[in-house]
Amino acid sequence: MDVLWLSRLQFAMATMFHFIFVPLTLGLSILVAIMETQYVRTGETVYLRMAKFWGKLFIINFVLGVVTGITLEFQFGTNWSRYSAYVGDIFGSLLAIEATLAFFLESTFLGAWIFGWNKLSPKLHAACIWLVAAASNISALWIIIANGFMQHPLGYVLRNGRAELDSFFAVITNSFAWQQYIHTLAGAFALAGFFVMGISAFHLLRHNETDFFSRSFRLGAIFALVFSLLVAVQGHHHAQAVTRIQPAKLAAMEALWETPKPGEGAPMYLLLWPDEANERNAVEALGIPGGLSFLAYGSFTAPVQGLNAWPKEERPPVLITFLSFRAMVGLGTVMIALAAWAWLRRKRLQESPKLLRLLPYAIPIPYLALQAGWVVAEVGRQPWIVYGLMKTADAVSPVAASQVTFSLVALTLLYALLGAADITMLTIYARKGPKPA
Amino acid sequence: MLETIWFLVWGILWAVYFVLDGFDLGLGTLLPILGKTDTDRRTILNAMGPFWDGNEVWLITAGGVTFAAFPTAYAIMFSGLYTPLMLLLLALIIRGVAFEFRHLRDCPYWRALWDGAMTIGSFLPALLLGVAFANIFQGLPLDSQGIFHGNLLTLLNPYGLVGGLLFVLLFALHGAIWLALRTEGELHHRAVAWAGRIYPILGVTLLGFVVLTVPFTGLLRNYLTNPLLLILLIIPLTCFGLLRREIQQGAGWKAWGLSAGLIAGLTLFGVTGLYPNILPSSLDPAASVTVFNAASSTKTLSIMLLVALLFVPIVVLYQVWMYRTFSHKMTSHDLTHDNAY
């Protein structure tokens, strides 16, 4: 394999692994902060125990997010140095701002929270976890604004052989980036809801700490339901923005090859399997005439471009984009159904063993949905690293393939071991339940 | 002008990073020497527990600022130093995880595994950062396209290795003093004793490094034109001289301050000597990456300066609060609370 493909694989592996831990950090930090605030307000020790138990799981998850995040900042320079030099004027500053505004805050106050239970006043201690929660979510904002620039570059001017900043305001108010941010955040919050519900269900089924886990469950169920719905509704608007801004990505998501004749609108097929080699679909059945046009533009006859409108080398990989999009939407639908079921039964949990047995196994669903969503965003943007501005193939570093092979193998092995250890630790501590009151 | 200001900020960020993460990298390196029992080792880990993550963000920021202010330098430096940076990364990963994982299971093999990860994960970054900076001072084999003609072995030259050893010793001393500050009794005495043992070895290495800097690097050029700047070398050397007495008297905050002054001073001495280069080329001086040919646009540099002026003081304020709140002398209580490492 050449340096380009090795670097692509490494970036995909490192980013996807990092993103196993990020969404739980984003959502669970807020849930723990709510629990501790309840304790400060009511003085009920069950909330204190909740904050401590879920906080412990939060920390075990958090540490891998932190250490794997450093890899990402480094990788732009090590593996994508031509990209870094070309857009660093804009992209680099967003990463530096993220560190200054958010990462310092997050790391410092997490230290204060972990070690401050007996040293800080309850109010100040609760403030620490709110600062961690705010900082994690602000951190995500800057990272996604940076990614938004790659998806829909704005506010730049081509000068001195590179993209230079023209309008900082345009870069940070990029509506495409903000949509991605809301979409990611809502998904992450729903994921945290499923995480809390799943572990609570495990204990409720065993009649273990029923009061403790019923309260946890209800909090998780509200989060899971509200944000599964939000992510779907907002996702629809986001897809409409993709249609306008990255039409080739949308065509790949829907495996639409031919641009329909004017006035006809693009159909939507319920059964579909793309055949990339022959630039057509192997299976195309149960079509809704104009369905895709309607979803994309709200009109059955609106024009949607097909993949054949682009030369082959300017299209994203169709099968991966297509399947990931379907996986995301399908899993998202399952999330809504499960969360609604859980919410309806929230007051009669002990009488719902089926639900309680199912929910621990539902924890991976939002994880897979979120990963699939990012695959659509990133693979669907190919061959561009910055949409319309720079191709991924032109962005790679002038390094030796042997170097990248070494780092890819080393990172993969290490990540596999650490990931397994982390999931084992999370499982042990989750099963153990809270410390006796 | 903006480029020069950012170069100064860049140097200060590295200096702050080395001072702050330096003590916890050094303490991690000394873990098997200073920590005889599990309780000792837990005391050592908890002594840096509240701080290590916040300290490491200074590295992320130093890297981020390199990217933001000097993107060309970032691109050339990070791709040129590919393998050492990946090793640094792997080390920092296992080290961060060691802090959090070690205490999760009460099994001697599990704990020994993470103690090993802590030691290697602390020693290797100190060594690699030292080797990398010594090589930057010396000049990297860069052609006019910014392509690095060399490999890991190119970096392991005599001057690079002395630089690596210097960093390991500087951080180890800094870490021993930190442990002395935060402990009482046997562990405190052991930390002071080891600080006393490291001190003379550091002295010899420091002397060797400063002497070798004359033939091996072009750092002195700026100092010959502006001899007044030599104060940047006199300050750390003075700190080093005064440190001896402070260690003998039990290594308190004053000793830590002097050790911090030594590390920060040496970093600023090196960085000032580089100017206006960030990455001098050893192949062709004209191929050097300078503050001017690597900088971002004026607009980016101005906006970033505004952000830095607004937010870095806030960061400093809450990190100072953090250090004031959590750097008391440790007692057994610090090992028994729910979240102790």
Q: What's the confidence (pLDDT) of residue B251?
A: 87
Q: Structural domain boundaries of chain A?
A: 3-252+317-432
Cα(B265)–Cα(B261) distance, integer angstroms:
6
Could you tell me if A210 lies within 8 Å of chain B, comparing CB atoms? no
The reply to whether omega before B276 is within 30° of 0 (cis) is yes
- Determine whether the interchain pair B67/A84 forms a contact, defined as Cβ–Cβ distance below 8 Å: yes
Closest partner CB to A99 (pick from B60, B79, B100): B60
Closest partner CB to A81 (pick from B60, B76, B322): B76
Could you tell me if A397 lies within 8 Å of chain B, comparing CB atoms? yes
Cα(B104)–Cα(B148) distance, integer angstroms:
43
Cα(A430)–Cα(A57) distance, integer angstroms:
7
Q: What's the confidence (pLDDT) of residue A434?
A: 93
Using one digit for the tens of pLDDT, what is the confidence trace for B4-36? 999 999 999 999 999 999 999 999 999 999 999
To which residue do tokens 């196993």 refer?
A: A20
The pLDDT of residue B341 is above 90: no
Measure CA A358 to chain center: 24
3-state helix, strand, coil split of chain A in percent (to 5) is: 75, 5, 20
Residue A242 main-chain phi, psi, to 5 deg: -60, -40
Taking a C-beta distance cutoff of 8 angstroms, is the pair A176, A377 a contact?
Answer: no
Lowest mean pLDDT among A27-41, A49-63, A302-316, B192-206: A302-316
Q: How distant is the Cα of A64 from the closest Cα of chain B, in angstroms?
A: 7
Closest CA to A14 of B74, B113, B97, B89: B89
Q: What's the confidence (pLDDT) of residue B11?
A: 96
Closest partner CB to B85 (pick from A60, A78, A92): A78
Structure token pair of residue B298: 């004026």
Residue A119 main-chain phi, psi, to 5 deg: -105, -25
Side chain identity, residue B241: G
Q: What's the confidence (pLDDT) of residue A88?
A: 94
- Determine whether the interchain pair B79/A77 forms a contact, defined as Cβ–Cβ distance below 8 Å: yes
A19: helix, coil or strand?
helix
The pLDDT of residue A147 is above 80: yes
Measure CA A85 to chain center: 27
A376: helix, coil or strand?
helix
Cα(A75)–Cα(A140) distance, integer angstroms:
18
- Residue A296: pLDDT band (50, 70, 90) is confident
Taking a C-beta distance cutoff of 8 angstroms, is the pair A130, A123 a contact?
Answer: no
What are the distances in angstroms from CA A244 to CA A238, A390, A397? 10, 19, 32
Closest residue, chain A, to B72 (C-alpha): A85
Q: How crowded is the C-beta side of A289, counted as CA atoms within 13 Å?
A: 4
To which residue do tokens 């994309």 refer?
A: A296
The pLDDT of residue B200 is above 90: yes
Cα(B140)–Cα(B158) distance, integer angstroms:
14
Residues of chain A with Cβ-Cβ distance to B100 below 8 Å are: 59-60, 63
Q: What's the confidence (pLDDT) of residue A128?
A: 97
Q: What's the confidence (pLDDT) of residue B340?
A: 83
Element holding B44 (H helix, E strand): helix B38-48
Q: Are strands A156-159 and A162-165 parallel, antiparallel or unpaired?
A: antiparallel
Using one digit for the tens of pLDDT, what is the confidence trace for B67-116? 999 999 999 999 999 999 999 999 999 999 999 999 999 999 999 999 99
Could you tell me if A100 lies within 8 Å of chain B, comparing CB atoms? yes
Cα(A256)–Cα(A221) distance, integer angstroms:
37
The pLDDT of residue A263 is above 80: no
Please report, rounded to a whole number, the percentage of residues in chain B having pLDDT higher than 70.
100
Please report, rounded to a whole number, the percentage of residues in chain A having pLDDT higher than 70.
100
Using one digit for the tens of pLDDT, what is the confidence trace for A168-216? 999 999 999 999 999 999 999 999 999 999 999 999 999 999 999 999 9
- Determine whether the interchain pair B315/A100 forms a contact, defined as Cβ–Cβ distance below 8 Å: yes
Q: How distant is the Cα of A159 from the closest Cα of chain B, in angstroms?
A: 10
- Residue A68: pLDDT band (50, 70, 90) is very high
Interval A30-55 mean pLDDT: 96
- Determine whether the interchain pair B326/A68 forms a contact, defined as Cβ–Cβ distance below 8 Å: no
For A434, counting Cβ atoms within 10 Å of its Cβ (0-12 exposed, 13-18 middle, 19+ buried), the class is buried
Helices (H) and strands (E) in chain B, counts: 15, 2
Taking a C-beta distance cutoff of 8 angstroms, is the pair A147, A180 a contact?
Answer: yes
Closest partner CB to B101 (pick from A96, A399, A425): A425
The pLDDT of residue A1 is above 80: no
Residues of chain B with Cβ-Cβ distance to A81 below 8 Å are: 74-76, 78-79
For A163, counting Cβ atoms within 10 Å of its Cβ (0-12 exposed, 13-18 middle, 19+ buried), the class is buried
Q: What's the confidence (pLDDT) of residue B119?
A: 97
DSSP per position, A412-428: HHHHHHHHHHHHHHHHH
Q: What's the confidence (pLDDT) of residue A258?
A: 87
Lowest mean pLDDT among A23-27, A166-170, A277-281: A277-281
Q: What's the confidence (pLDDT) of residue A8?
A: 96
Closest CA to A56 of A392, A367, A421, A435: A435
Closest residue, chain A, to B97 (C-alpha): A63
Q: What's the confidence (pLDDT) of residue B6?
A: 96
